[in-house]
Structure 1
Amino acid sequence: MGLTAIDLGLRGAASGVFLLIILAALLRRATSQQALLGMAMSAGGVFYAIATAPFFPKSSWWWVLPIMSAQPALFWLWARSAFDDDFVLRRWHGALWLGIVAFGFALTLGWAYSPALAGAGGRGLALLNLALALAAAVQTVKTWRADLVARRRRLRLAMLAINVGLIVVFAGAGFAAIPVAVPGAPGSLPTALVLFVVAMMAGVGTLATPPAVPVDDVTAAIASGEAGGADRAPSARVVVDPLLLRRLDHLMSVERTYRQEGLAIGALAARLGVPEHRLRQAINEGLGYRNFNAYLNHYRIADARLALSDVTQREVPVLTIAMDAGFQSIGPFNRAFKAETGVTPTEFRREALSRPVMADIGEPQREIG
């Protein structure tokens, strides 16, 4: 009974932290897709902590298990939104979650009539959960190097390891004799301990995260070398070296280093002669970018817009312009260009070249971007 009491206490503490995360998001009026998915994940954590607790009535598992079986899909979507700044939640994502829940209900209700068929379906559902866990792992690893947010870089791998571990255990139980299994019931202290650790890490990552520093006139003035920028907004928490920002701006604006194929932040830091973590801090806290690729694409898209607007380059293929700007293929270029301008490169060129030539005479040059 002593271990059971500890088990229940850990589950209660984890549920309390998850509820605090939801409350904090509601008080902040957070409406971003990451916040909504985070609240859904937290609610799922509370549900999981209760449903897998010792002495939870097994008679309720027929409706509990299908909902829990869709938790890996929620985690995958949360990982996409948390670790990919370009991710957009689509309707088919919700349809996937509902489909898994419906399939789980079909398995639990059909278990009494066809155990063999339900068991096969449960193993298929377990494979799907493992695939979603693997997809979340790949997403985290794929975007780890380009991540400029120090707190997110520190927490993402630990959170991923623990959450994927839970998903693997949960999905692995699907290969057992029941269609959707729960690693709970009496003696589930390890599950409760992992839930508590996950809740604490999620709480630290959510409740202790300071507001992001936006791109404002101060950072723009520092990057361009203009004087008096810091006096205009003394509350801005910019702690990076102004000289480093000016050197970085020179590399990008004058030497056009962004055109280098496959440019990584490590290579850029070596060229500047500074530690990589200092460069990450400069771009994130000094210029407001959360992702290194987004920072490079700012300059690359501006370069491409100039080329696409140039009458003398009207016959140059869009792919050539994209690769000259630093993109390695046409797909990422088209997506980044449309996200930045709202139109495709071809549409932008057609509109830019159709404007009367005399309309721009006498207008001052403006920076594109």
Structure 2
Amino acid sequence: MHDIGLTALDLGLRGAASGLFTMMVLVLIRLRPGNCQAVLGLAMSAGGAGFAVATAPFVPPSTFWWTLPILSAQPVVFWLWARAAFDDDFALKPWHGAVWLAVIILGFTASLSWPMWPLVTKICAKGLSVAAVAFSLLALVQTVRTWRDDLIARRRLLRVAVLVLNLGFIIVVAGPALLPIPGHELGLAANTGGLGSFISAFTLCTLAILASWNLFGANAATALPTPAILAAAGVGEPQGAQVGAGERPAVAPLLLRRLDQLMTVERIYRREGLSIGGLAAELNVPEYRLRQAINEGLGYRNFNAFLNRYRLEDAKSALADPSQREVPVLTIAIDAGFQSIGPFNRAFKTATGMTPTEFRRQALAGGADAPTDLRIRQGD
């Protein structure tokens, strides 16, 4: 394809991406959500629109340098957004803000030191490229690490866009800055036109399309970060809630009964290394049907949360059994299907509000305040 045609496609893709990102920003501002998923989605959308414009062909280089301090922190925002979008237990911490601020300061240093200390600018620019690659890789790890257990179809598709965008960003934008050969000589520089700029525009547009589909599409309440956004705005259903029966495909009752039989009677959740693929094989159904049944039929967002419901009930029963008073907590956790004590303690504390030891002490004491029910958050 001729350079003129490639540049025209590049500009068109960037225009579409910036338009979609801007539309998402306006919707999120109107809803005024206060949760981290929505805040990070707002920041990511605004940064995506700005990056699409600032790195476009024919845009003066001075525009990029003026916007560099803010755009330089977008990999941090994107990493945090990926954490919030794909990890239901994620919560923003003060150190996350400190990391973002540190990259912003590095960007300002690179931008403002250019007239007097070009060497400082060069070092800071390399540091920004290293940070960009590092946070893009962290986002990749987050995207892949929990992919297998994700039960939400839209969110699994959104992960594809995140993978594509991060790989494209590393190859086209951040990676060439770390090479001894200038990126424009390889045809990979993002803001000089050509193949590199086109790839950058394509990956941005891909993410914008899927992110907007996730936000505005039908049945969007089943995907992140939309449920939290709508819940915060008082619209739709809260996070983890099921979609109305008339809005989702019917889940076969027979499959749900067979699944319940496996979990409650055969206690297959105790099997070491049980995966959703293994459970689907036991039920002799395609994996996608089992995902749909657990997500849309039972309201769970990820497979581990589904397994933990049964594992924690099993552990709670053992901890409250006087005949198992001397059995170590670790043994009970392993018998229930957990691989180690750390995940068991965290899941138990989240579900019951107390540690396993505290629960056992209170249950065996038989006091009036002894817990009688295990509170499981199905949406986690």
TM-score by length of 2: 0.81
Code of the residue aligned with 2:201 in structure 1: it is A
Q: Distance in 2 between matches of 1:163 and 1:112?
A: 32
Q: Distance in 2 between matches of 1:29 and 1:121?
A: 35
Which protein has the larger Cα radius of gyration, Structure 1 or Structure 2?
A: 1
The farther-off stretch of 90-99 and 284-293 is 90-99
The farther-off stretch of 153-162 and 239-248 is 153-162
CA deviations 1:293-336 (Å, max 9, x no partner) are: 01000111111122222233222211111111100001111111
Task: Provide the alpha-carbon RMSD of the alignment.
Answer: 2.9
2:251 equivalent in structure 1? 240
**1:87 to 2:90 alignment:** yes
1:208 equivalent in structure 2? 217
1:254 equivalent in structure 2? 265
**1:342 to 2:342 alignment:** no
Q: Distance in 2 between matches of 1:338 and 1:306?
A: 15
Q: Tell me if the contact between 2:139 and 2:166 (Cα under 8 Å) persists in the aligned partners.
A: no
2:231 equivalent in structure 1? none
1:219-298 paired onto structure 2 within 5 Å: 235=246, 237=248, 239-298=250-309
**Distance verdict in 2 for CA 1:134–1:189, change over 3 Å:** closer
The farther-off stretch of 101-110 and 22-31 is 22-31
Aligned-pair identity in percent equals 56
Q: Tell me if the contact between 1:48 and 1:68 (Cα under 8 Å) persists in the aligned partners.
A: yes
**Distance verdict in 2 for CA 1:119–1:40, change over 3 Å:** same
Code of the residue aligned with 1:108 in structure 2: it is S
Code of the residue aligned with 1:199 in structure 2: it is A
1:40-79 paired onto structure 2 within 5 Å: 40-79=43-82
Q: Distance in 2 between matches of 1:5 and 1:126?
A: 28
Equivalent of residue 351 in structure 1, options 337, 356, 362: 362
Aligned length: 344
**Distance verdict in 2 for CA 1:168–1:2, change over 3 Å:** closer
Q: Distance in 2 between matches of 1:238 and 1:286?
A: 9
Q: Distance in 1 between matches of 2:67 and 2:326?
A: 61
**Distance verdict in 2 for CA 1:151–1:213, change over 3 Å:** closer
Equivalent of residue 318 in structure 2, options 304, 307, 319: 307
Code of the residue aligned with 1:260 in structure 2: it is R
Q: Distance in 1 between matches of 2:294 and 2:302?
A: 9
2:131 equivalent in structure 1? 128
The farther-off stretch of 340-349 and 252-261 is 340-349
Code of the residue aligned with 2:216 in structure 1: it is L
SS at match of 1:144: coil
Q: Distance in 2 between matches of 1:368 and 1:10?
A: 48
CA deviations 1:119-169 (Å, max 9, x no partner) are: 233223322221211111122211111111122223312332123312442
Q: Distance in 2 between matches of 1:105 and 1:124?
A: 12
Q: Distance in 2 between matches of 1:101 and 1:368?
A: 42
1:199 equivalent in structure 2? 208
**Distance verdict in 2 for CA 1:5–1:186, change over 3 Å:** same
